[in-house]
Structure formats: C-alpha cells, structure tokens
A and B are shown apart, each in its own frame.
Chain A
Amino acid sequence: MPNILWMQTGACSGDTMSLLCADRPSLEQLDLQYGVKLLWQPSLTADRSFGDVLAAVLAGDEKLDVLCIEGSLMVGPGNTGMFDTWKGRPKIDIVRQLAPLATDVVAMGTCAAFGGVHAAGMNPTDCTGLQFHKDTPGGLLGTAWRARSGRPVINVSGCPAHPNTITKVLAMIAAGEEIALDQFNRPTAFFASLVHQGCTRNEYHEYDIEDSELGGRGCMFFSLGCRGPQTVAPCNTELWNGHSSKTRAGVPCFGCTSPSFPPDGDLFSTPRIGAIPKFLPLGVVRAKYMAYKNLARAAAPERVVNREMEP
C-alpha cells in the first residue's frame, strides 16, 4: 500500500491536471487496483494540512514511499530559494529534507526533471531540475544522490508529463516492478518510442512531402520546427486524452520531454544546413539521409504529393 506525497515547486499545475486526465489507469484505479494512497496532493487533499503531513514524515511517524515533485526547483534569488516558499521557508530546503526519506523520488514533468520552461533563456529564477540541469547531471540533489530504493530520481518528463505515463509509472512502483531507465533516467517503457512513430503524417515524411506553412496536412519536420523524429515520448503510441496528439493535429512537436526544452530559437522553424534539417532523425547519417530523401521524393505517389490523405 504505497503512499505518495506530491509536492509542487515552481509549477503551473499542468502535471496535476495531467494526473486528473489519466484514464489507463485513472487516479481512482490507482487507489482501487494498486492501493496507492495520497498522503498529500496540493489540489486534492481535503483532510489534513501540508504542515501536518510534513511534520509527521520528518519526525518519522509516517513513512514516505513515493515523493513526487512537480515544478522547477527555484534556487534564486542569490541562492536563497525565496522565489518559491512555503510559510517563509524555501521549497528547495523542504525537498532536500524529504528526498532522503522517500523510498522513491519521481520528477513529474520536465520542470522537476530538467528545469523546464522556467530555466529557458537567461533562467531568471536560477532554477534547476532534481538531478539534472538541462542535459547536465547534477541539479538540486547532485549526481550521486540515490533514493532509499537505490534508484536515482525517476524522470517522468513532458510538459506536461503524459497523463497515462504518470499513472502507469506510479502503478509500476506500487506493483514492485523493475523500472529500466534511459540516459536521462526516464523509464524506457515510455521513452523508447519517438513521437514520430505513430504520427499520422508519417507517409508525408516517408515521401519527403514537407509543409512550409502551418495548417496543412504534410510533414512539419523540414520547415516548421517539428522535433518528432528526435524526441522520445509516448505521444503517438498512447494518444492524449484518448484522442490525438499535437503532431496529428498539425502542431509541431516541440520536444517537451527533452532536457533542452524549450530550445532557444524560433520554435516554429527548423534550422537547416542547405535544404536538410540541421538536426536529423535520431541516429541518421546525413549523406545517406540526403540520398534517401532524393529517392523518396521521386517515388512519391500523386495522392501524397497532392496532399489528398488526411493525417
């Protein structure tokens, strides 16, 4: 019967909303099927106060199985942590106190995993992730840190994290399953597929039919900033809200599960070398890719060239 303490730091509440949107399993099923109990969830807990929970856990009166952190860890201004406080105490200090007591720590969303949108550009709040700062190991807790289970922080990245990835990871922890992690400590069960896999614009990509204006049916990789072929995320292998995904709906993938999200530079435009994107699909060799694209374009059927196929 694992319990969860879910804490928001520098957050928009989007991962909490995502949690509420999960349907396989849902929040209700996490309780019914897996015995997951919410010791504290800022949007949901009604029978106690955060101070009460915090005191009980810190005193050792209450065990802490899973500590979920939603939001960037605000280190500023001037290392005081005062950009984000609870009753005058920096939240980063509370996170540092709770983390060693938890059997597992899960970063819910890209902010807690890597710093996220608040760390973009000049990073005005000096924020960071729990165990990474963007793609550099370290973050608030440091590279060597391990939870009581021996695991590092499990990074369920995404802006927000995919609803069913949130609940499935929690269910896997509750069920005592092995959780294999990738180089950024994301569970490979959810982060070993590209957004490109399952995108309904794939045939356009296959035949090099690329759109240069938004609002169309073609592939958005060459001109419109889509990072689907470089981004590992479950968005097109497990649809959002049971219906769709950004790329299916004509919105470029902005790579929001990646440590570098959001990238600097025009988000709706693909940086290119000549006619070919600067960043190629994961692991592809440029010369071979150019050769393949030339052939692909020549083989494109009229129905694809004419964009007759609905994504």
Chain B
Amino acid sequence: MIDRIHPLTLLIYFLYAGMISAFSRNPYMHGLTLICGMIMLFTWNSFRTVARRIPLFLLFFVLISIFNPFFYHNGNTVLFYMAGRRITLEALLFGADSALMVIGVMLWFISLSHYMTGDKVLYLFGRVSAKAATIISLVMRLIPHYVGYIRSYRRHQKLLGLYGDGSFIESVRAEGKIFAGFLTWSLEHSMTTADSMTARGYGVTRRRSFSPFRFRVKDIVILCISVICAAIMTAGIALGGFATEYYPVIVLPAFDLPFISACLVYIISASAIPIISLIKDH
C-alpha cells in the first residue's frame, strides 16, 4: 500500500514524520519518532529481520550516548571523574536523547530509501524541470553502459598489447590512452544519440513530461494532513512548547494540554499509514 503512494506525497510525509522531531529538542518526541519509525520498518521487513538489526541500533545508541559526556562537562550531577574531568548525568542524558533522535530519523530514512525507488526520484526531478528529467534519465542509462564499456575496453586493449610489459610507466601511459579513447568513443556515439533525439522532435516545442504516477484522493488527503500537522508542530516548536533544558539541571517541558495534544497529533498522523498498511496486509 505504501509503495502505491504518489512520490510527492511520499516524500512530504516521510520528511514530516521523520524530521519534525529533530527540531524539537524533546526526548518524548524523539522517542515517539523512533517508535513510529520502527512500526514503519515492519511494513516491509519481517519481525526477524528487524530483530536482527536491533543490536546494531543499541550499539549506536550506546556509542552516541557516551560520546557526549566526554566532551561536555556541564551539569550539576557529577557521576564520577575521569582524567580530572567531570562526567555528569546531564551530559549523559543529553547524549542519550541525541542518540534517540539520530536513530529515529535514521529509521525513517531507511524506509524512505526503500519506498522511494529510482523512477519516483526521477519523477520528482521532472516536476522541477522537464529538461533536467531528460538529462537525468539519459545519465541513468549511460552510466551502466559506460562502466561496462570501459571494463571490456581495458581487457581488449590489454590483449592487443597496449599495456606493453605491464610496468608502472607503461600502465600509466596505457590508462591515459584508454581514457582518451573512451572520451572520443563516447563523443562520437553521443552524436548519434543527439541526432536520434533531434529526429524525434526534442526541442521543437514545449516539452511535457509524462509519468505513470497519479494523484488519488488518498494521496491528496495524506499530503494535506502531513502539511497541516507539520505546520502545527512547527508552531509548537517555535513557541518553545517542546524545549527541554539540560544544563545545569534537566528541566522537561510541562505535561500540559497543548503538549499532550501535540504528541497525540504526531502519533496519530505518523503511525496511521504504517498501521493501516500492516492491518491490510494481514
């Protein structure tokens, strides 16, 4: 179901759900992002694959957490001294919170890169500029073609004795010739490509990019909800409703009605899609 979402909606939704908490400086929000990101992971992974990744995430978590107190020594609660420097609880917790945030964002991006396939990326570029889309499409086609060509080119030239006795100097000289030869070859052949493009009317009139993707009502709804929720959260963050202070002592924001409702808005908007997708799959 998620792979059928329109690329633009997909991008906006993932950026909102994955990134918004990164600006909030709030451990609860970071935790929620991580949990929702985890749910998203289950939509395209088996329980076992996710479980196998957990140790890696934990390792990340620990590393990032303990990294902070070794560099920041603010905070009132001293845990112990190391090499004459204070290691504080506040710095450790700040590190843990950062780790939570980094891993949360990471989880969302892993899923994004799974769902955002090459053709969707290309489509998004095409929205920006039809010319850019053509060029990107051409490049995407040419890269594997060129890589394959150079590989065989080198082997055949070796067979023809271009590399001489294989000494360093001979090899450098040969590589230079190979590169120049490849450039000539690619230029010569790109002439035909250009002719073929011209012959098919490239540039005769205003180009209209075609794509097989369509906005469904669903896509528009998801897009709107994502944008509205992102606006609400941004407003909340800007008003300082989420901000946590770590130094010298930890001060968490109050659990008041606006904060709780903001959290609910996030949980519902971010987790609805993966949860519905999981239910539909079963």
Q: Do A and B bind each other?
A: no
Question: What residues make up the interface of B, taking CB atoms closer than 8 Å to A?
Answer: none
